[in-house]
Amino acid sequence: MLEVGIIGGAGYTAGELIRLLLNHPKTHINFVYSTSNSGHKVYKIHQDLLGSTEMNFTNTINTNIDVLFLCLGHGNSTAFLQKNTFSENTKIIDLSNDFRLTADKNFDGKKFIYGLPELQKEAIKEAKYIANPGCFATALQLAILPLAAHKLLQNDVHINAVTGATGAGTSLSATTHFTYRDNNFSHYKAFTHQHLEEINQTVKKLQADFNSEINFVPNRGNFSRGIFATTYTEFKGSIKEAIKMYQEYYKDAKFTFISETDIHLKQVVNTNKCFIHLVKHNNKLLITSIIDNLLKGASGQAIQNMNLMCGFEEALGLNLKSNYF
């Protein structure tokens, strides 16, 4: 049984992570660290866990655990690891963006591997330190990985994607209040979203000669969770060739599937799955990809990475969904 710890236990991703780990057959939660909630029951913050655990948040850390999950705000994982030294045997999975880019992957003698299993599963199996991908970055990379792997991204890529309110985290702002989100729709960080860096990095890794633009417009939706992304770019082949290429690329993927029919968010919310649908229009290939931003886009993918790192079956503890509507 793995002893695991969570740093930054009060946010949405931590709540999902706790729920997954409580139901994982190979893990025991050693501690959930939160200085602002120390001494309080975990279910006082994550109210769905009432009846599932009597664990308290703590402000103390066990440095000899097997796996550490960092659920801290961007920039805070680096500061935390500078102040706290863990056992050489402790595997670390960071859910922030601190170590995702090549320029940041080496830190204090630790080499962080980018944790997108559909991109580099074998490297993840051998890793001790993982940089979990961003939620938008996951949905958008899964949409274009096969094209980049076959060196077929020869023109600009255009992406429009919408995420639910949980994508903004638990901290309130002018655009996260119910009165703003309800019956509303808006874009933000158009063409400048921080996840573009890791997306471009992956594309360059697969297709070094890619010199076009990835134009990404992220949107806020008036629903709680999920990402619905539409991506299009020029493609000279037929739709049958595109579908065959995607099916072949993802044939060994545990959670990414190609749908023959139109897809919608309810198919993947509360799962660790990504569904992809392809349509050819004239010379353009439209790729629709959908994920749950808190699961495949964060905590579910973190568990998937843990399973790979520890030699478990990749889908262990991630067969989640019991309802559809």
Active site residues: 135
Rounded distance, CA 248 to CA 260, Å?
14
Query: Cβ distance 137 to 237 under 8 Å?
Result: no
CA-wise closest residue to 90 among 7, 3, 1, 29 = 3
**Closest C-alpha among 211, 158, 208, 216 to residue 187:** 216
> Residue 132: CB partners within 8 Å, gap ≥ 6?
93, 94, 95, 115, 298, 301, 302, 305
